[in-house]
């Protein structure tokens, strides 16, 4: 059975029959850009070309910003990393739900969630959020924000 993966840094999609590097339990890294870990997807997923990637730890703190993050928010890595994703991005979900918390608690995907992004010092932007849990012992999530057209 092939597993589908996506890199939060460059957006490269790949497949593999193994979810780790050989006999070790180390997560797979990206073969395209060398990023330290990639996310497993349950189905193949195609992000929009202008999608912004944010990787968070189990406490929803941003640990990496990927492709499109600066373009959407105007914030560079130094101003984002280590801070709570809701606080730094000012996420306001349309339905009043908290899909970030749901993904962390239940380990399930939350796709196509309308959201307004209020990044610090930037004008509000409408987007669609796709959130994927990290399927490893550390927890965490991958947040992909696609600007609304």
| 87-117 per-position pLDDT tens digit | 899 999 988 889 999 999 999 999 999 999 9
Structural domains of the chain in order of their starting residue, each with its CATH number: 3-147 (3.30.450.20)
Q: Find the distance separating the first CA and the last CA of the chain, reported in whole Å.
A: 36
Element (H, E) at 13: strand 13-16
Please give the mean pLDDT across all residues of the chain. Answer: 86
Which residue stretches of the chain are H helix? 69-73, 77-80, 85-89, 99-106
Q: Residue 32: count other Cβ atoms within 10 Å of its Cβ.
A: 14
Q: Is the pTM of this model over 0.75?
A: yes
Q: Is the per-residue pLDDT at 29 higher than 70?
A: yes
Most confident of 65-69, 98-102, 134-138: 98-102
Give dist(CA 114, CA 65) in Å, integer: 20
Q: What are phi and psi of 53, to 5 degrees?
A: -110, 135
Give dist(CA 72, CA 49) in Å, integer: 12
């Amino acid at each position: 059975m092939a597993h589908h993966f996506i890199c939060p840094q460059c957006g490269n999609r790949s497949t593999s029959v193994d979810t780790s590097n050989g006999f070790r339990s180390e997560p797979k890294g990206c073969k395209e850009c060398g990023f330290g870990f990639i996310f497993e997807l349950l189905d193949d997923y195609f992000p929009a070309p202008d999608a912004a990637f944010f990787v968070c730890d189990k406490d929803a703190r941003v640990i990496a910003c990927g492709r499109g993050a600066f373009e959407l928010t105007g914030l560079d890595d130094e101003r984002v990393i280590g801070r709570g994703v809701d606080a730094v991005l000012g996420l306001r979900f349309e339905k009043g739900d908290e899909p970030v918390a749901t993904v962390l608690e239940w380990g399930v995907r939350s796709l196509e969630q309308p959201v307004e992004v209020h990044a610090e010092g930037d004008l509000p932007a409408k987007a669609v959020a796709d959130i994927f849990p990290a399927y490893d012992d550390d927890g965490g999530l991958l947040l992909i924000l696609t600007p609304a057209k």
